[in-house]
């Protein structure tokens, strides 16, 4: 099979993956405590599209069903997909610059740093400032980027980042930040409910406003990371090799770290800590389609969005009418996979 044929096949698979993602999102909108059928759901969704709203009638559908679908289910489905996309591409880019298959914003403590920043924002009631909820995103961003720099500095040995050092640094910093969040809750009991929301991870209170807030961060950041996919491929061959080929390795790594921190901060600011998405999805894509970041990054976006929508659907339906935090569901998938990776890496050493 020639190169052009390969590209055509990859494009076809990518288009099919996007269609599958939309199908999963549509199917997810039919699940919930309220018993709303697929046809009713489809009509409500189609009636929101400008041209089709003149053709599709929803007069026979109860108003409460229309509100549940349009104001509750759809916002959290869209938000889940965006968060899954963001965390997945961050995981893939981290694994490239660290040359470490176990690099992930959650495992490395980046999510905890963003959550601590958001918690401090709540403590100082910054959401009531002129910037509103955007101030929480800013404090989360500051927390995530400072944590990234701290973990990177601790783990770095000359120009290399050993796997064990990186994991230990990330886990240690994550525990430290989690304890600081706990102390913050003890001394600020009035803000405990909000802070607990961030530490558990949930999209139950998703709104279209949060989607509009998150979308610009993700679109700009994702485009920047994908534009660096060729450089990331070369960096995987080794820093010295990349430098000899004219790649500004340190510059690329700093850009990826800053942009990835922005994505994590934006995601955490609207959902709290949701772990392991950036670990699982890039691995699955890498197994299916190979390590080429030109392919890995776009497919991680689509697979990550689908994974988060499925996880959130399970979270809100499996214990209905109660709801499980989506962060707990992703951890149930991710933690065993992380253990598997550790065992496999241990066997390689032995």
CATH class of 79-349: mainly alpha
DSSP state letters, 25-51: HHHHTT-SSS---HHHHHHHHHHTSTT
Q: What pLDDT does 83 receive?
A: 95
Q: What pLDDT does 5 receive?
A: 47
Q: What pLDDT does 310 receive?
A: 95
Per domain, the residue ranges of the chain are 79-349
Q: What pLDDT does 343 receive?
A: 76
Give 110's contacts (C-beta < 8 A, 6+ positions apart): 90, 144, 147, 148, 151, 260, 261, 264
- DSSP, collapsed to helix, strand or coil, labels residue 130 as coil
Q: What pLDDT does 80 receive?
A: 95
Q: Report the C-alpha gap between 225 and 242 in whole angstroms.
A: 17
Nearest to 79 by CA among 337, 276, 279, 274: 274
Q: What pLDDT does 236 receive?
A: 87
pLDDT in tens, the chain (350 residues): 444 448 888 889 999 999 999 999 999 999 988 888 888 888 888 888 877 777 888 888 888 888 999 999 999 999 999 999 999 999 999 888 878 777 777 777 888 888 888 888 888 888 777 776 678 778 887 888 888 888 888 887 776 667 678 778 888 998 899 889 888 888 887 777 777 766 778 888 788 888 988 888 899 999 999 999 999 999 888 878 888 988 888 888 888 888 887 888 788 878 888 888 988 899 889 988 888 999 999 999 999 999 999 999 999 998 777 788 898 899 888 888 778 777 776 666 55
Q: What pLDDT does 133 receive?
A: 66
Q: Burial of 31 by CB count in 10 Å (0-12 exposed, 13-18 middle, 19+ buried)? A: middle
* Pure H helices in the chain: 3-28, 38-47, 63-67, 74-97, 110-123, 134-155, 163-187, 192-200, 208-227, 229-235, 239-244, 249-271, 277-289, 293-317, 326-349
The residues facing 160 across adjacent strands are 157
- DSSP-derived letter for residue 71 is I
Give the end-to-end CA distance of the chain in Å, rounded to a whole number. 38
Q: What pLDDT does 1 receive?
A: 43
């Amino acid at each position: 099979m020639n190169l052009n044929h390969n590209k055509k096949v990859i494009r076809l698979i990518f288009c099919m993956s996007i269609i599958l993602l939309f199908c999963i999102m549509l199917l997810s909108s039919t699940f919930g405590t309220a018993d709303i059928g697929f046809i009713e759901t489809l009509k409500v969704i189609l009636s929101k599209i400008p041209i089709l709203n003149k053709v599709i009638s929803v007069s026979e559908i109860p108003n409460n069903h229309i509100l549940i679908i349009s104001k509750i289910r759809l916002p959290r489905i869209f938000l889940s997909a965006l968060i899954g996309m963001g965390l997945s591409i961050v995981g893939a880019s981290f694994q490239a610059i660290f040359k470490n298959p176990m690099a992930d914003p959650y495992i490395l403590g980046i999510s905890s740093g963003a959550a601590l920043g958001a918690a401090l924002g709540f403590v100082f009631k910054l959401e009531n400032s002129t910037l509103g909820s955007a101030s929480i995103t800013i404090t989360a961003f500051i927390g995530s980027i400072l944590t990234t720099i701290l973990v990177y500095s601790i783990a770095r040995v000359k120009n290399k980042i050993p796997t064990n050092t990186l994991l230990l640094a990330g886990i240690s910093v994550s525990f430290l930040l989690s304890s600081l969040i706990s102390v913050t809750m003890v001394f600020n009991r009035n803000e405990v409910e909000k802070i607990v929301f961030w530490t558990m991870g949930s999209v139950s209170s998703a709104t279209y406003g949060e989607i509009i807030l998150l979308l610009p961060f993700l679109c700009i950041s994702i485009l920047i990371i994908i534009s660096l996919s060729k450089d990331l491929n070369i960096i995987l061959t080794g820093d010295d090799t990349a430098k000899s080929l004219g790649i500004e390795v340190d510059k690329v790594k700093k850009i990826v770290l800053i942009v990835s921190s922005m994505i994590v901060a934006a995601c955490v600011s609207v959902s709290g800590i949701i772990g392991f998405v950036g670990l699982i999805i890039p691995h699955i894509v890498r197994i299916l389609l190979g390590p080429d970041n030109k392919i890995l990054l776009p497919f991680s976006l689509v697979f990550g969005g689908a994974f988060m929508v499925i996880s959130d659907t399970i979270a809100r339906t499996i214990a209905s009418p109660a709801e499980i935090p989506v962060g707990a569901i992703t951890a149930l998938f991710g933690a065993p996979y992380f253990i598997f990776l550790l065992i496999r890496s241990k066997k390689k050493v032995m």
